Amino acid sequence: MSKHDCNFTEAAECFRDPQGIQLTDKEHSKTEERFYWIGQTLAGRVLTVRFTIRGSKIRIIGCAEWRQMKRIYYEKTKNK
């Protein structure tokens, strides 16, 4: 995750965002369900976390700041 200037702690923080948004990732796997979680860290960064669920655990695949997803986050949360 360091490639995208995002660490595991920040990725995990995003899941605590009560305004976070979950989307389905249909493009990147044909063998398992994958998802995007767009959420804000404690420092205020809006990150997109790619993940899957295996058993009872969330497996983080990647994390990055994506302008397109950031725009979606602000559009969906501005009136909440």
Show me where the domains of the chain are located. Answer: 2-77
pLDDT of residue 1 exceeding 60, the answer is no
The tokens describing 45, both together, are: 């960064």
Q: What is the pTM of this model?
A: 0.82
Residue with the bigger pLDDT between 26 and 21: it is 21
Q: How does pLDDT run across 3-22, given as a tens digit for each residue?
A: 558 899 999 999 999 999 99
Q: How far apart are CA 29 and CA 77, in angstroms?
A: 28
Q: How does pLDDT run across 45-74, given as a tens digit for each residue?
A: 999 999 999 999 999 999 999 888 888 888
Cβ–Cβ < 8 Å for 66, 48: yes
